[in-house]
Amino acid sequence: MDASEEPLPPVIYTMENKPIVTCAGDQNLFTSVYPTLSQQLPREPMEWRRSYGRAPKMIHLESNFVQFKEELLPKEGNKALLTFPFLHIYWTECCDTEVYKATVKDDLTKWQNVLKAHSSVDWLIVIVENDAKKKNKTNILPRTSIVDKIRNDFCNKQSDRCVVLSDPLKDSSRTQESWNAFLTKLRTLLLMSFTKNLGKFEDDMRTLREKRTEPGWSFCEYFMVQEELAFVFEMLQQFEDALVQYDELDALFSQYVVNFGAGDGANWLTFFCQPVKSWNGLILRKPIDMEKRESIQRREATLLDLRSYLFSRQCTLLLFLQRPWEVAQRALELLHNCVQELKLLEVSVPPGALDCWVFLSCLEVLQRIEGCCDRAQIDSNIAHTVGLWSYATEKLKSLGYLCGLVSEKGPNSEDLNRTVDLLAGLGAERPETANTAQSPYKKLKEALSSVEAFEKHYLDLSHATIEMYTSIGRIRSAKFVGKDLAEFYMRKKAPQKAEIYLQGALKNYLAEGWALPITHTRKQLAECQKHLGQIENYLQTSSLLASDHHLTEEERKHFCQEILDFASQPSDSPGHKIVLPMHSFAQLRDLHFDPSNAVVHVGGVLCVEITMYSQMPVPVHVEQIVVNVHFSIEKNSYRKTAEWLTKHKTSNGIINFPPETAPFPVSQNSLPALELYEMFERSPSDNSLNTTGIICRNVHMLLRRQESSSSLEMPSGVALEEGAHVLRCSHVTLEPGANQITFRTQVSIDCPWSIYSTVIALTFSVPFRTTHSLLSSGTRKYVQVCVQNLSELDFQLSDSYLVDTGDSTDLQLVPLNTQSQQPIYSKQSVFFVWELKWTEEPPPSLHCRFSVGFSPASEEQLSISLKPYTYEFKVENFFTLYNVKAEIFPPSGMEYCRTGSLCSLEVLITRLSDLLEVDKDEALTESDEHFSTKLMYEVVDNSSNWAVCGKSCGVISMPVAARATHRVHMEVMPLFAGYLPLPDVRLFKYLPHHSAHSSQLDADSWIENDSLSVDKHGDDQPDSSSLKSRGSVHSACSSEHKGLPMPRLQALPAGQVFNSSSGTQVLVIPSQDDHVLEVSVT
């Protein structure tokens, strides 16, 4: 990690710096203990408690012991910290009172006075006790007495400022103990001194910083002060703290520049606005760039000088802290920032000068990092450094363009002059890189020296950058650098090398659907293909560009003209054809067949009109438009045709093709739309709703894994067969936009492998589905016709008619439809209603024909006249014979029905007409000119609101005469409170078992009714006595009933029964004891 590669310059600001400790007194004594002292002092770490709430640190202390001189003591106002003596030690081994009195005391006093004069309080007196020496003396006082004397004389209340070191050079436990105590004392005092003196320094520094708004304040001066602090921290190996000092200076300067940009200029900042005259890049190979530092000190530094110096210091410290990747990241920020700051300060910079500076700096940072990391580390941190590589590439490129090194002819004299100026600004190479073969300086100088050298360096850098981007998966960035490279190759007239980069980039943009980059890259590719003479590719690209709406009209016309020019050239090699895909020229919008079903007899005429949407910007004259008819003859072709027709075909023979969308990525485009449906699930027993929800029918399509690899594949086309069935149209001019082209051709179907004529299955599909229904209101009758549009088109309906095709003269159909014109939208329905009126006896059946005119709703297709759409139907038994009226009464004495209590249901069945033709069936019995028929009624409640108690059905004999009425009483129990709809009353015709007309019967449903099995007793009113809370009469039937002569039920036609109470509701209130639950415990 050590940054110094070469011998350090003779300055005091180096890593060799240690805090200074002076030594006074017996120099020989000190020299004898010095080796042990300097070795032992850093061995144990000591906790350094910090001021301003900073976290305490463990610190290994080292010191530079120098002989005490008065000159070493800082004079008043001197801010130097590095040369500041943090501790003064006086060494003596005096053990003789006489000697002490004679010399040592005076010496000590002198020493103390000097310290006092400089108000230095950080001192220590060391008395070394030597056993060997003592023995030789006679008038020896006990050790303590000398110590006591010294303490008494000098250490006023600070007895700890005098320590004893016993036998320092011996190897005994006592010696060791003594050393330990001494070292601890020394460390403690050193740290105390640091805390005190650094604290004072920081306070002074802050005071200075607070004065920054004053007129005479100088950033450079302040810089030097704070850097002094940084140096001391660095000296104490507190790199983090040192870095903080530089970061603060960095932030302070940045803020000034920003403020300057905002109009708040500081005087001193104008020094930094001098025109840039030197752009030799960052220098990071020495821990301290003294040259730049001195220029700052002399207040002559330019902005680039200051920034370079500051960054070199930050870089050094970051490398000490083993954070090389942060260096790379900060470097990129710094370079961008410098460019911005120069702009903001409006510093005049010669063209290309900054490009040089940035290029040199990028390479310097990269080389510095490479110098302190191994290959593996670098390879795994490409993401951090690739930005610098890319930036350097970019800058070299612009230098190349600036200096005429990219043009085909090479630089002209102006370019050369500019190059010379740029090289002059680099100055001479710095001595520290002079011996490095690949130094940034040498690289730049060489790259600018010749076209060939530039190409070599630029290609090297570009390839390295692309490779790095690719290796870390930044494909888009790699493609982008590749595009620059392609541009370079195009300038160098080497389109064959450019093509691969352009194709690669284009593929990437197409895959992700970026329209503007696609257009731009395609334009470059077109030029490249033109130079390469790839006619077919060029025309294909041109066709895409001619239809590209992101280009200007002029550009589109140009590319369109390129194709037309080529087309008008006489072909030099006959037989060689260039086939371009159609979709870029024109899109098929629709096909229109006449006749509309597109099916003609052999020898018939089929007219095909196609609508083409021309994408070209200018009218294009087309020699011939050919439609190839592709016959697919295979098994099941009939079914496939039917499927295809239901899928694509609409009425009147128009097949629409949706316009292609913009270049979306295929993966996104192919996703089907959600198909959501309502879902109802009913209980199988009584048809009540169990669950409901929305389901997605095509979830398997939506959630299918998207194949990324297939996203660029185009659907494979159908191979053209020479001489296949073709429709031709010659000499057509396609205008931009929609064009209609008509092919009229006679189609005869020949079957080459058979002499027999082919049977062709025809499928017709109708645009509408029509249903009708008979509606009653008492005896009044209405016919409703519902027209449902099945097609994808919207239509306009007009002139609806309903006529009676029978010859009943007294019948009238009165239309109740107000509008004569009515739109019918795709997949929607329209209803028409007529009222039936008659004067005499109505006929048993009515033959109707419904007709309605229709035309497509869109205007451009109005020219087609279509026959009205017709629908014939028959309405039978529409005359109301019976009126059924049901009523529910609360139990006697009560005002309302209550849940759980029995209520009475009264059903009134009234005959509305005398004997009619329709009554003549086997149920009719005649006695004394009176006719009667048998009916069965049944009370059913499908909604489970009511429990029918006792009998729920019965057979009645109904006189066939107007106003004949039958009244039935039943008991029902409401199961819920609220307004409940009445239970259904159904009426059936009851046919005796000897009926031979089984064909008329609804054989499935009504014969298997176990309530009817009791009929064998001959009772006219068979009761079903079970409580049928669920109301179903279709209960289990035993198979033995089949085959037995059974009476049969026939449902009365809907028109013959009118339920006048349907829809009425009855109020049911809850019973009071609803919540009482009886529990019996045994």
CB of 665 to another protein, least distance (A): 5
- Residue 474 found at the interface with another protein (CB under 8 A): yes
Residue with tokens 């006219």: 1020
| Residue selected from 664, 825, 831, 976 as contacting another protein according to rule CB under 8 A | 664
Tell me whether strands 829-837 and 780-789 are parallel, antiparallel or unpaired.
antiparallel
CB of 642 to another protein, least distance (A): 32
- Residue 675 found at the interface with another protein (CB under 8 A): no
Residue nearer to another protein on the CB measure, 520 or 531: 520
Query: Which 1020-1039 residues touch another protein, going by CB under 8 A?
Result: none
Angle at 828 between CA 823 and CA 829, to 5 degrees: 80
- Residue 699 found at the interface with another protein (CB under 8 A): no
Q: Which stretch binds another protein (CB under 8 A): 296-304, 661-669, 944-952, 1028-1036?
A: 661-669
Tell me whether strands 654-656 and 780-789 are parallel, antiparallel or unpaired.
unpaired
CB of 474 to another protein, least distance (A): 4
Query: Which 380-399 residues touch another protein, going by CB under 8 A?
Result: 383, 387
Q: Among 803, 816, 784, which Cα is nearest to 847's? A: 803
Q: Can you list the pairs that 545-553 forms with residues at least 24 positions away whose Cβ atoms lie under 8 Å?
A: 545/519, 546/584, 546/615, 546/616, 546/617, 547/584, 547/585, 547/615, 547/616, 548/519, 548/522, 550/515, 550/516, 550/519, 551/519, 551/523, 553/617
Provide the mask over 249-278, with x wherever binding to another protein is found by CB under 8 A and - wherever it is not.
---------x--x-----------------
Residue nearer to another protein on the CB measure, 258 or 679: 258
Phi/psi for 856 (5° steps) reads: -60, 145
DSSP-assigned beta bridge partners for residue 590: 611, 656
- Residue 339 found at the interface with another protein (CB under 8 A): yes
CB of 516 to another protein, least distance (A): 4
DSSP state string for 801-865:
EEEE-S--TT-EEEE----SEEEE-TT-EEEEEEEEE-SSSPPSEEEEEEEEEEEESSGGGTT--
Residue nearer to another protein on the CB measure, 261 or 950: 261
Residue nearer to another protein on the CB measure, 138 or 661: 661
Token pair recorded at residue 785: 């016709």
Q: Which stretch binds another protein (CB under 8 A): 123-131, 335-343, 444-452, 961-969?
A: 335-343
Calpha distance 370→377 (Å, rounded): 9
Q: Helices 495-512 and 515-532, interaxial angle, to 10°?
A: 150
| Residue selected from 274, 534, 667, 899 as contacting another protein according to rule CB under 8 A | 667
Provide the mask over 201-240, with x wherever binding to another protein is found by CB under 8 A and - wherever it is not.
----------------------------------------
Token pair recorded at residue 132: 């060997």
CB of 255 to another protein, least distance (A): 9
Provide the mask over 571-610, with x wherever binding to another protein is found by CB under 8 A and - wherever it is not.
----------------------------------------
Token pair recorded at residue 322: 């083993």
CB of 397 to another protein, least distance (A): 13
Calpha distance 188→185 (Å, rounded): 5
Residue nearer to another protein on the CB measure, 708 or 818: 708
CB of 671 to another protein, least distance (A): 7
What distances in angstroms separate CA 43 from CA 38, 126, 240, 677, one per listed residue? 9, 20, 22, 82
CB of 340 to another protein, least distance (A): 5
DSSP three-state, residue 11 = coil
Residue nearer to another protein on the CB measure, 269 or 642: 269
DSSP three-state, residue 726 = strand
Query: Which 822-851 residues touch another protein, going by CB under 8 A?
Result: none
Calpha distance 830→852 (Å, rounded): 11
Residue nearer to another protein on the CB measure, 318 or 342: 342
CB of 379 to another protein, least distance (A): 17
Q: Which stretch binds another protein (CB under 8 A): 230-238, 331-339, 602-610, 821-829?
A: 331-339
CB of 673 to another protein, least distance (A): 8
DSSP state string for 939-992:
EE-TTS-EEEES--EEEEEEESSTT-EEEEEEEEEE-S-EEEEPPEEEEEEEE-
| Residue selected from 69, 116, 200, 336 as contacting another protein according to rule CB under 8 A | 336
- Residue 473 found at the interface with another protein (CB under 8 A): yes
Query: Which 495-524 residues touch another protein, going by CB under 8 A?
Result: 509, 512-517, 520
Angle at 880 between CA 877 and CA 885, to 5 degrees: 140
DSSP three-state, residue 293 = helix
CB of 662 to another protein, least distance (A): 8
CB of 514 to another protein, least distance (A): 5
- Residue 480 found at the interface with another protein (CB under 8 A): yes
Neighbours of 928 (CB within 10 A): 5
Q: Which stretch binds another protein (CB under 8 A): 51-59, 91-99, 214-222, 474-482?
A: 474-482
CB of 261 to another protein, least distance (A): 7
CB of 985 to another protein, least distance (A): 46
- Residue 344 found at the interface with another protein (CB under 8 A): yes
| Residue selected from 17, 477, 524, 584 as contacting another protein according to rule CB under 8 A | 477
CB of 705 to another protein, least distance (A): 14
Residue nearer to another protein on the CB measure, 348 or 746: 348
Calpha distance 647→597 (Å, rounded): 14
CB of 478 to another protein, least distance (A): 9
DSSP-assigned beta bridge partners for residue 733: 621
Q: Which stretch binds another protein (CB under 8 A): 159-167, 429-437, 664-672, 717-725?
A: 664-672
CB of 494 to another protein, least distance (A): 23
Element (H, E) at 85: strand 85-92
| Residue selected from 98, 160, 300, 333 as contacting another protein according to rule CB under 8 A | 333
Residue nearer to another protein on the CB measure, 475 or 679: 475
DSSP state string for 869-901:
EEEEEEEES-S--EEEEEEEEPPTT-SSEETTS
| Residue selected from 103, 152, 188, 668 as contacting another protein according to rule CB under 8 A | 668
Tell me whether strands 85-92 and 20-25 are parallel, antiparallel or unpaired.
parallel
**Residue 305 contacts residue 253 (beta carbons within 8 Å):** no
Calpha distance 230→310 (Å, rounded): 12
Residue nearer to another protein on the CB measure, 479 or 649: 479
DSSP three-state, residue 255 = helix
Q: Can you list the pairs that 220-229 forms with residues at least 24 positions away whose Cβ atoms lie under 8 Å?
A: 220/268, 220/271, 220/296, 220/297, 220/299, 220/301, 223/249, 223/296, 223/306, 224/296, 224/297, 225/79, 227/313, 228/79, 228/80, 228/81, 228/82, 228/201, 229/81, 229/198, 229/201, 229/202, 229/205
Calpha distance 412→373 (Å, rounded): 43
CB of 513 to another protein, least distance (A): 3
Total of chain residues touching another protein, rule CB under 8 A = 33
| Residue selected from 57, 442, 445, 476 as contacting another protein according to rule CB under 8 A | 476
- Summarize as ranges the residues that interact with another protein (CB under 8 A): 258, 261, 332-333, 335-336, 339-340, 343-344, 383, 387, 469, 472-477, 480, 509, 512-517, 520, 664-665, 667-668, 671
